[in-house]
Structure 1
Amino acid sequence: MAIANMTIEAAPVQAAPANDPHHTVYLDTKDGRVTIQLRPDLAPKTVAQIETLTRRGFYDGIVFHRVIDGFMAQTGDPTGTGMGKSDLPNVPAEFTSTPFQRGTVGMARSQDPNSGNSQFFIMFKDGDFLNNQYTVVGQVVSGMDVVDKIKKGSSANNGTVSNPDKIIRMRMADQVK
């Protein structure tokens, strides 16, 4: 019996609808709440990793260890040094042409493109030089005024922050009642 050559096309991945509680993160700081709409249409594996960690409460109490004024605020390292990660395996890079703009959330990594794990950053302003180099995982949809208040680090020390601000609580919207 011969099997005919067939082309099977995968169904296109749809963007998460606005205000989808299954892909919306509430990140609370001392200055208020940041609401992030995750983008599984752009980075399904990376978004799944962040959602898993968020549902575990992994990000609660973690500091913004690297904050560069006019660039970005980085968090997600349980050691607070920029070298730590979760107990989950790293995720492969999911680069797209989606631009890094003010409020874009990106996955931090080492020089190895496939080293994203738990650390992420939020852009203070546009950063086109990151396009196609880092994975876009979401967008701040409210609370950029809160992001702007995150304590900045020293430019002489690559943005390292002494006595840094922290994530008080980070949850998926569908976890919050």
Structure 2
Amino acid sequence: MIRKLSAALFAFGLLGAAPAPDWRPLNPESLLVIDTTRGRIIVEMAPDMAPQSVARVKLLAREGVYDGLKFHRVIEGFVNQTGNPDNKDGGVSRHPDLPLEATFKLKIAGYRAVAAPSDGTVGFLGSVPIATVSGQEALRSTDGAIRAWGAYCQGVAGMGRQEARDTGNSEIFFMRGASRRLDRDYTVWGRIVVGRDINSLLSVGEPPAAPDRMLKVRVAADMPAADRPRLSILRDDSPAFRALVRRTRIAKGADFSICDLEVPVRVDP
């Protein structure tokens, strides 16, 4: 059964890898540069997963709404929360609330699963860890796409909301640790690719006694060319990435999780 399923996933482009350059440049239009009181954090945004949420984050960054805001709720091993104009839970921007984008349609072509157990697959969309429906459900797809969602691993960026599900607005949070109970309940809009260590240093508290702040938040494409970060990500169809997956699976054994993997990112000259 496992061999048959793997063969089926290979046919759908979920496994296997064609020769390709090891590294892919990251699009500056999809990079959010956050200069904090602790240092710089750079997030690769995922518009294919959450187009409205990504558009909102970019809009608020360009309006300067995020500049100077506190990390008002920071829980060790869980989340770093910010983005509310009143620096506490419940604040919103002048823009209307957004619908929940907790799941999305993933194009089967080009997707390579890292693991494909019987109940679903796990892999990456860019730097963002994702999970999908099972390979059997993929075989029943009639539109070349399958249902997928972001996995709340360390460094993943989520959209905050109120109790009602369709109330995302300006609040954002960054995972300080993995918490997969948030999957399919909160919108994933990206993942930290630079500054994961900075994210772990932010002052803890609800609210912190001396909160850290986002000093300046910009879309990389808006920055002067000389100041713009140039980053590349390891391709998930490269031999180097496949070797990384093999080493991690051997090390973790039956405890292997998609949260055990991070797609390497390098700074280009």
TM-score of the alignment, normalized to the shorter chain, above 0.5: yes
Residue 25 (structure 1) aligns with: 32
Contact 2:38 2:212 in 1 (8 A): no
Q: Deviations over 1:116-175 (max 9, x none)?
A: 00001000111100000000000000101111111000xxxxx32223111010000011
Structure 1: tracts of 5 or more residues without a match: 1-16, 154-158
Q: Which runs of 4+ in 1 moved over 4 A?
A: none
Per the normalisation by structure 2, the TM-score is 0.57
Higher helix share: 2
Q: Please show how residues 55-74 of structure 1 align to structure 2 within 5 Å.
A: 55-74=62-81
Q: Find the aligned partners of 2:207 and 2:190 in 1 and give their Cα distance.
A: 24
Describe the SS at the equivalent of 2:198.
helix
Q: Find the aligned partners of 1:126 and 1:18 in 2 and give their Cα distance.
A: 27
Q: Find the aligned partners of 1:58 and 1:108 in 2 and give their Cα distance.
A: 16
Describe the SS at the equivalent of 2:62.
helix
Residue 95 (structure 1) aligns with: 102
Residue 149 (structure 1) aligns with: 201
Q: CA RMSD in A?
A: 1.1
Residue 59 (structure 2) aligns with: 52
Percent identity of the aligned residues? 36
* Offset, 1:68: 0.3
1:165 and 2:212 matched: yes
Q: 1:140 to 1:87 in 2, by over 3 A?
A: same
Per the normalisation by structure 1, the TM-score is 0.85
Q: Deviations over 1:81-133 (max 9, x none)?
A: 21211101111000122210000000001111100000010001111000000
When the two structures are aligned, how many residues end up with a matched partner?
Answer: 156
Which amino acid is the alignment partner of residue 143 of structure 1?
A: G
Which amino acid is the alignment partner of residue 107 of structure 1?
A: M
Which amino acid is the alignment partner of residue 95 of structure 1?
A: A
Match of 1:105 among 157, 160, 166: 157
Residue 45 (structure 2) aligns with: 38
